[in-house]
Structure 1
């Protein structure tokens, strides 16, 4: 099955040898999105709320470039450097998703690229 890379200027460029997402058949696999401003490539200022919002905005931009929406996302992976921020991230996530919610894992990690506090990846299925 063919693999089609997905890239948009509305999300930050990859900071390594990977695509923002790859479509295979009707499934889109997203690389992790961190809270980088797509215009500057810099980490957005502010705490975990601002970082989560920017990362979800980046995810949304890639989903739209792939021909879908946040409603088409079936699985999320959330990575936090502090699980004490879990409730804040849930609150921000609720601004982007409606029931039925995607399946999700939330994992505390020791570190993330550019020393950010939050990263999200996803899988989307298109009809």
Structure 2
């Protein structure tokens, strides 16, 4: 079985996205250049941002931004509400206010390039 351990988002401005995710994740990148940043979120998972203009091979298609979603589970409904309050106070664009859905209690915000960040407490979490 394969075990993916890295997600990379193609972004319009890597420095802006690096600053955004540094503040949001409360984590500094382990590697950063003008066009790329890599965050080690835990020993088994890494997250990166890469300037769309610098990606090799070049990105094709008509989509210029967004188009992806990163889902982040949390322990309970209270943590969803606390993160929503914190991220809203930072004036991060909200795509979906906290709501109960089939899979759990969730909200969704957008990064500077329109990628979705979904926080959720799975169904059954208090």
State the TM-score, normalized to the length of structure 1.
0.30
Q: Taking structure 2 as the reference length, what is the TM-score of the superposition?
A: 0.30
Greater relative contact order structure (CA < 8 Å, 6+ sep): 1
Structure with the higher fraction of residues in strand conformation: 2
